[in-house]
Structure 1
């Protein structure tokens, strides 16, 4: 592999300086402010505000290596704060904006954070009691009113402070950020990334997608997650393109149409929602018929993609979990090739990418520049990447379990590599279960097939020590609303029975599902059944429904939880 010695070690701070010198008047970020109002930040303004906030941090006694946390939904000031933390010489600690108080306290205390930026949040009340006494808070402009009234506010601070001139000059081995994993099985772990990780990915991400300053992205997945941090924030700094922010879930449709992204990254849940919504408007069979009419073909494609805001998208990416074959094929018919990518917090998202024109559905592509991959014991995927973490914060024993001395990271994923070097993920080591027949089942590919059904939000396949697996379903709020009518429920039950038959026909006998169970209660962060990144907490889901599982496992067909 091309190793760290061949990487251009330009830190994010130096990348910002390049943007300021080369593109001072270009628009870097577009922040919605409600309605049609937006604020456009030029690179000159980005550099100025970040350096002014860095000056304030230093005045508060923040020193080199101190940890500074930030909790907010995506907004321009999130990225400005991240930059200010680095410019001041500190280490940034992002928190998910949906955490509950106990998790907030756990991360702030474990990281030893000295200051907390509080920004745009939906429910500060469930978080605020988790902030330990003695941690100073700074409010973003869009912070909850309570925070704006009680804490120093971003706009006032940048107006009252001169830009910092004694800017930090970190080396490749200095710690840049601690990213706490969302914890599907237990306590969140603090993944440490040195500046070399950020520099390596920043240097290479430009070339893998041929990014240009004219490119546009929309930021809506949590910036506290490594995927958005690498794909959006890092690309922004090293490429100099424009990032648009989404205002809310309710306005996302308009936000994406405003941005008209040329590069768009989404998790399968988002692609599935696009597909489901479009399928309700134009069923796939009807769409295929219309696309066969030469005079209508281009018009229909542009209209369908335009309704999603994706008619100018040239690079479409999907990651975090497998994307359904059905959805990938459907987008292909519209001329949009969704490229599956693979990465994790522990390697700053820098692992595998599907190259345009080399799409093999079900495979996540070949190793990125600076990455080696091999299959280890038990089929586990091992990756050595220039983006690899330096370890878990304050957990050397756990670090040694997953990161070898010569740099190989145990991913916890099971996979295989084809003759072209492409990787396919076939499951998670901790998720694969054995039925009472002694056969192993990987739940993710089955869940993937079921989740493409319109109206289905989340799927959890379980079956350890059962004769056959079963699938628990969570429906979308929209579908739940429709089902209040008896006829609608009967029709949807029929659709689910057809789905069960269709999916079972694609599975080996030991994998086939005995039943689909439609669960009443939404699975959320609040009830502890999903993580802040909307990954299933399988153990918790199984515990939650433990009393009903024997009955459901003995049943057949579609079951509605009473």
Structure 2
């Protein structure tokens, strides 16, 4: 278990809210699209008022201090306000991914012993209706679907007076239980205190300074630790403004409206942005234009402005391996794209590359206060710092397995420390598989090579007990569309076959791929193939498709069209 962590009381989230309530009362804190191009701007004063009123309602139930209250929904201003109200009332927030199925939702509510649940924006309510027990207390946030029934947020605000004073939470109190989406097994509840999260913000922002002028756009799940820390907690600490995305369809317009100064995205989306640009301007032509002194600068500005990132001073990628080629490509555009490495168990605070660096192929150096080491037998990355979780909720055995008696977190990632002291991740300890030839394959770097082709949106290299590995490719929407006729399909098949040759030329003999299998059905959190942060769920994918491996191999083709 993590030892007691201390931080300055003024750095805890509620104290930060009180500070901005007083000092920046009329400054806009949250900007929420409400449909049809309209937005709702909520100031720090208005936010604090709503939080105080909702905290009064929560406390009126007389629940024991530290009781759990869940928040389920897509990102919205009221998601954050609900989270703060739970904290102000003296309770523990339990964020739940809106893409969790009914079984996972019911499990988390029962396992956490949640007293109530705030429900906000959702794309689909089927899981809510079957996953939430009949009669369970529900508060319906603004923008929730009409068929979600419960107590209305705005009506509760009207019926409750603001909680007075400045309730202060002890930093060692539990603040939240974050249930990991995970790539295997049931969700685990990661327990964090106010101090662990506040220390994480302090350590990270010593390397990446932030202030009240910063703008963030919130679109990755707030139930995920990265969005919680980088957007919610950082804006609370420094007084910045949060913009929210309305939908996937409006995301580019949302980005252009926010023009964030700090922007975090997962690698799959960074790759998707890159492919979108290449679809309008082929890579060869773009590289030529960027090499021209005057024209190159104009092209860079046009591309970044079109993405809404022309004001972005720090861009970050994380939550999954970032291809080195993608990092270099964005840096050439003039975007200072850094790579961050962390996990829910350490508040996402472990390593990051240095702003302004031209290095690639590693996730950088430990943040201040973070210790790192490599297990000499397994090659596993281990780390420790004051941002470590207390443990997994109600899971003492799993906690002991994750955090040794000496306080080191076992990350499950394989890596090595290079000559400069930077961490190089070589794969997941459990992702490594053995072919029928008895050779071990670490798939991560092969996958990095595969996604460089603009037709490939995501991929999975697999092949346990096969003679050679194979790769499952999710084609981009543009590539799928181009293959709708025989001529387009033949052209794409030839391109991918050449890509396979190029990739295999860079691999060791035992790593060379036998074939590429194309897929066009999206891999989404809803169908269970990826986590909410778009990490491919290897066990789910292999269980779904392994029975077809032999039939695909029997075709003896470099590229097989699965029809799936």
TM-score norm. by structure 2 comes to 0.96
1:203 paired with 2:198, answer: no
- Name 1:277's counterpart in structure 2: 276
For 2:358 and 2:96, locate their aligned partners in 1 and report how far apart those are by CA, in whole Å. 34
Number of the residue aligned with 1:411: 411
Match of 2:45 in 1: 44
Aligned partners of 1:164 and 1:292: how far apart in 2?
60
Return 5+ residue gaps in structure 1 as ranges: none
Give the Cα–Cα distance (whole angstroms) in 1 for the partners of residues 33 and 496 of structure 2: 40
Match in the other structure for 1:70: 71
SS of 2:46's equivalent?
helix
DSSP-derived class of the 1:546 partner: helix
Q: What's the CA shift string for 1:113-163, capped at 9, x where partnerless?
A: 01000100000123321002342000011001012xx32111221122111
What is the root-mean-square deviation of aligned Cα atoms in Å?
1.8
Q: Retained in 2: the 8 A contact 1:206–1:239?
A: no
Equivalent residue number for residue 18 of structure 2 = 17
* Deviation, structure 1 residue 493: 1.2
Compared CA separation, residues 553 and 168, structure 1 to 2 (3 A): farther
Determine the structure 1 residue equivalent to 2:438: 438
What is the deviation of 1:488?
1.6
Shift of residue 59, structure 1, vs aligned partner: 1.6
> What's the CA shift for 1:478?
4.0
Listed as ranges, the matches of 1:149-548 within 5 Å are 150-165=149-164, 168-376=167-375, 377-548=377-548
Maintained 8 Å contact 1:72/1:120: yes
Task: Using the TM superposition, name which of 422-431 and 496-505 deviates more.
Answer: 496-505
Encode CA deviations 1:516-539: one digit per residue, 9 max, x unaligned. 001354333343322333222212
When residues 453 and 127 of structure 1 are mapped into structure 2, their CA distance, relative to the original with a 3 A threshold, is: farther
C-alpha distance in 2 between matches for 1:533 and 1:332: 23
Deviations 1:19-66 (A, max 9, x none): 212211211111111122111111111111111111111123343111
- Alpha-carbon distance between aligned partners in 2 of 1:209 and 1:528, rounded to the nearest angstrom: 34
| SS class of match (1:491) | helix
C-alpha contact 1:9 1:200 (8 A) present in aligned 2:
no
Partner secondary structure for residue 339 of structure 2: strand
Give the CA deviation at 1:406. Answer: 2.8
State the match for 1:91 in structure 2. 92
8 Å contact from structure 1 (residues 340, 365) kept in 2: yes
- Distance, in Å, in 2 between the alignment partners of 1:329 and 1:191 is 34
Query: 2:31 matched to 1:30?
Result: yes
Structure 2 equivalent of residue 136 of structure 1: 137
Maintained 8 Å contact 1:52/1:158: yes
**Cα displacement (A) at 1:8:** 5.9
| CA deviation after TM superposition for structure 1 residue 298, in Å | 1.2
Contact 2:351 2:366 in 1 (8 A): yes
Distance 2:8 2:450 in 1: 42
Change in CA separation of 1:475 and 1:306 when aligned onto 2, cut-off 3 Å: same
Contact 2:519 2:561 in 1 (8 A): yes
- C-alpha separation in 2, matches of 1:98 and 1:236: 25
SS of structure 2 residue aligned to 1:265: strand
Partner secondary structure for residue 378 of structure 1? coil
Q: Which 4+ stretches in 1 moved above 6 angstroms?
A: none
Contact 2:266 2:533 in 1 (8 A): no
Structure 2 counterpart SS, 1:530: coil
- More displaced stretch, 102-111 vs 13-22: 13-22
- Does structure 2 retain, via aligned residues, the 8 Å contact 1:468–1:553? no
Whole-angstrom CA distance in 1 between matches of 2:358 and 2:6: 31
Query: Are the equivalent residues in 2 in contact too, given 1:469–1:553 (CA < 8 A)?
Result: no
Aligned length: 559
More divergent stretch after superposition (204-213 vs 410-419): 204-213
Measure, in 2, the Cα distance between the counterparts of 1:434 and 1:412.
Answer: 18
SS at match of 1:545: helix
CA contact (8 A) 1:262 1:312 kept: yes
Deviates more, 1:366-375 or 1:492-501: 492-501
Residue 167 of structure 1, CA deviation: 5.3
Distance in 2 of aligned mates of 1:6 and 1:220 = 29
Structure 1 position 6, deviation (Å): 6.4
> Following the alignment from structure 1 to structure 2, what is the Cα–Cα distance between the partners of residues 99 and 525?
8
CA contact (8 A) 1:12 1:198 kept: no
1:221-267 deviation line (CA, Å, top 9, x unaligned): 00000010011001010011111100000000000000011111010
In 2, are the aligned partners of 1:529 and 1:541 still within 8 Å (CA)? yes
CA contact 2:455–2:476 (8 Å) conserved in 1: yes
Question: Which SS does the other structure have where 1:211 is aligned?
Answer: coil
- Secondary structure at the residue paired with 2:286? helix
After TM superposition, the structure 1 stretch with the greater mean CA deviation from structure 2, 393-402 or 440-449, is 440-449
Counterparts of 1:526 and 1:38, CA distance in 2: 28
> In the superposition, relative to structure 1, how do residues 310 and 420 fare at CA in structure 2: closer, same or farther (>3 Å)?
same
Indicate how the Cα distance of structure 1 residues 40 and 439 shifts in structure 2: closer, same or farther if over 3 A, else same.
Answer: same
Please, what TM-score do these two structures have when normalized by structure 1?
A: 0.96
2:545 equivalent to 1:551: no
Report deviation, 1:326: 2.2
Deviation at 1:439, TM superposition (A): 1.9
Q: Within 1, Cα distance between the matches of 2:134 and 2:112?
A: 15
Q: d(CA) in 2 for partners of 1:41 and 1:323?
A: 35
Q: After superposing the two structures, state which structure 1 stretch, 403-412 or 472-481, moved more.
A: 472-481
Question: What does residue 119 of structure 1 align with?
Answer: 120
What is the DSSP-based 3-state SS (H/G/I as helix, E as strand, rest coil) of the residue aligned with 1:341?
A: strand
